[in-house]
Chain A
Amino acid sequence: DVKVTQSSRYLVKRTGEKVFLECVQDMDHENMFWYRQDPGLGLRLIYFSYDVKMKEKGDIPEGYSVSREKKERFSLILESASTNQTSMYLCASSALAGGPSGELFFGEGSRLTVL
């Protein structure tokens, strides 16, 4: 079974701190994605990556950056956390975005609270 593992289920950080959210997948997937989920807003795409060292902005990239140095690992970085970044963060991977093999596999999520 595909496994997408997010490093922390729950984090509490202070405003201005640098925050790293780590995601690892074990199925050699090309594509990895970071979403945030807020009540009433669904899942919104922050950044995605189709290859090592490659990244593309999603719908809400402001305040975030990402790093993909190895194929299996995709990190989301909050350079200076703010209270409006309090949210559930979900990582996903897929063999191919869209299409018959475009199934997305999600991690369990990381709930970040910024005080």
Chain B
Amino acid sequence: DAKTTQPNSMESNEEEPVHLPCNHSTISGTDYIHWYRQLPSQGPEYVIHGLTSNVNNRMASLAIAEDRKSSTLILHRATLRDAAVYYCIPMYSGGGADGLTFGKGTHLIIQP
């Protein structure tokens, strides 16, 4: 069973905000929600993570639903360099390999 559900692809225009959704309805109370992205021909890189509260960093914002069954990664002003595959992954805070397999992610296309 897939632990997360993400759209296969999304398209946006440069310099516009992008909202990437993720459903993780089976998330447990101790799972952190991590987001990674993978640029072409590179390994994935960490973007942001959170538990319950919304989070901001220099790359993006993470909005977590009150019931924690979904989250949204927000890129405030997309650039062409943000074109990548974005993965959301619930990760167990106590360690272990649960949640360490990435799904197919969302392929984000940015139009100039």
Contact = CB atoms under 8 A, between A and B. Distances in A.
B104 interface: yes
A77 interface: no
Contacts of B49: 100, 102-103
Interface in A38-80: 40-45, 48, 50, 56, 58-59
Given A104-B46, A106-B45, A107-B43, A97 B97 contact: yes
Contact of B100 (A45, A100, A106, A109): A45
Interface in A9-46: 33, 35, 40-45
Contact of A42 (B34, B96, B103): B103
B98 interface: yes
A35 B102 CA distance: 9
A13 to B, nearest CB: 21
B26 interface: no
Nearest to B99: A98
Interface of A: 4, 33, 35, 40-45, 48, 50, 56, 58-59, 90, 92, 96-100, 102-109
Q: Which 5 A-B pairs have the closest CB atoms?
A: A106-B43, A98-B91, A99-B93, A43-B102, A98-B92
